[in-house]
């Protein structure tokens, strides 16, 4: 692992280990929808990558039943602690929780029927390599199901990147690599996945708290964690962001477009 990669991973850890309210309405809806799209069945062996607080893992465990198994992994200990509490509270015995970095995680070939990943694929340092590993880890006929955002979503983050760029801070668009249906299909087909299905859904809402949106973006892994500004510079940039949100808003506040792709790709039987 290179120094730059380690640095990026530390930013992700800082982001997720400090989250106190991950289980908001958005993450619950996204997790439940991913499980619905996956159409899981009893007895399946499931891997849930970047499980967070275990929203997908718990829902999957109920479906696959006692004869099935869910391995749920994450590398943020703050998330895993919450997931362990959830699993214990729900009394689920068919979930194994493990600490693992998705970029480094190795599997046996033909190990899983299904691999799931909700809202987290953008945090992987090498998405194609991870998908290659998932492909090998799937049994013939198995499938992956993940969710990601359109490259212009959320609007609040798009505006954030535009504003901070004026201050000489270039933040990559984390949704650029898989941010369209065509990009998702091309990448999965290049690896060998077939029968690709993509459900497009709108999770948007009117943004009523622009200051919370600023804080969320600024403190994220794709934010200002490593920017060393004076308090005056930070406040000036923040105010410009708030002004940009206000300028883009209608009478009903800013429509925060959150277009999500729920992507399924299958490994051929032969």
pLDDT at 16 (0 to 100): 78
Span 98-112, mean pLDDT? 94
Residue 129: alpha-carbon gap to chain centroid = 17
Confidence at 20, pLDDT banded by 50, 70, 90: low
Report the 10 Å Cβ neighbour count for 93: 9
Q: Is residue 14 in a domain?
A: yes
Residue pair 45/68 in contact (Cβ under 8 Å)? The answer is yes
Q: Per the domain annotation, does 122 fall within a domain?
A: yes
Q: Encode pLDDT of 177-235 as tens digits.
A: 999 999 999 999 999 999 999 999 999 999 999 999 999 999 888 999 889 999 999 99
Asked if residue 162 is part of any domain, the answer here is no
Helices (H) and strands (E) counted in the chain, each on its own, are 9, 9
Instruction: Give the domain range for residue 81.
Output: 3-150+175-204+257-266
Q: What confidence category does residue 250 fall into, taking pLDDT thresholds of 50, 70 and 90?
A: confident
**Domains contained in the chain, number:** 1
Q: Which helix (H) or strand (E) holds 97?
A: strand 95-99
- pLDDT, one tens digit per residue, over 69-90 is 999 999 988 899 999 999 999 9
Q: Would you say residue 229 lies in a domain?
A: no
Report the CATH number that the domain containing residue 104 is assigned in CATH: 3.40.50.150
Using only C-alpha atoms, what is the Rg of the chain? 19
Instruction: Please report which residue ranges of the chain form alpha helices under DSSP H.
Output: 3-17, 25-38, 55-64, 77-90, 127-137, 155-165, 181-191, 210-218, 231-248
Residue 35 lies in a domain: yes
Strands 205-207 and 95-99: unpaired
pLDDT of residue 21: 61
Average pLDDT over residues 167-173: 93
Q: For the whole prediction, is pTM greater than 0.95?
A: no
């Amino acid at each position: 692992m290179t120094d730059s990669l380690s640095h990026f991973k530390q930013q992700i850890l800082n982001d997720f280990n400090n989250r106190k309210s991950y289980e908001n309405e958005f993450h619950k809806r996204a997790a439940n929808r991913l499980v619905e799209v996956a159409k899981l069945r009893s007895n399946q062996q499931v891997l849930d990558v970047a499980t967070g607080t275990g929203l997908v893992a718990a829902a999957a465990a109920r479906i696959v039943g006692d004869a099935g198994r869910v391995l749920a992994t994450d590398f943020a200990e703050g998330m895993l602690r919450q997931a362990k509490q959830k699993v214990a509270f729900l009394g689920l015995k068919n979930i194994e929780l493990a600490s693992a970095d998705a970029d480094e995680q190795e599997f046996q070939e033909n190990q899983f029927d299904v691999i799931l990943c909700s809202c987290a694929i953008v945090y992987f340092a090498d998405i194609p390599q991870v998908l290659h590993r998932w492909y090998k880890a799937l049994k013939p006929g198995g499938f992956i199901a993940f969710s990601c955002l359109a490259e212009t979503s959320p609007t609040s983050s798009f505006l954030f990147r535009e504003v901070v760029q004026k201050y000489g801070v270039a933040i990559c668009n984390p949704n650029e690599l898989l941010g369209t249906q065509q990009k998702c299909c091309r990448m999965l087909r290049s690896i060998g996945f077939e029968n690709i299905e993509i459900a497009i859904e709108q999770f948007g809402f009117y943004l009523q708290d622009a200051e919370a949106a600023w804080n969320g973006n600024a403190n994220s892994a794709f934010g200002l964690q490593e920017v060393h500004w004076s308090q005056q510079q930070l406040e000036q940039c923040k105010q410009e962001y708030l002004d940009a949100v206000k300028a883009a808003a209608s009478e009903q506040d800013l429509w925060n477009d959150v277009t999500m792709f729920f992507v399924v790709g299958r490994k051929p039987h032969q």
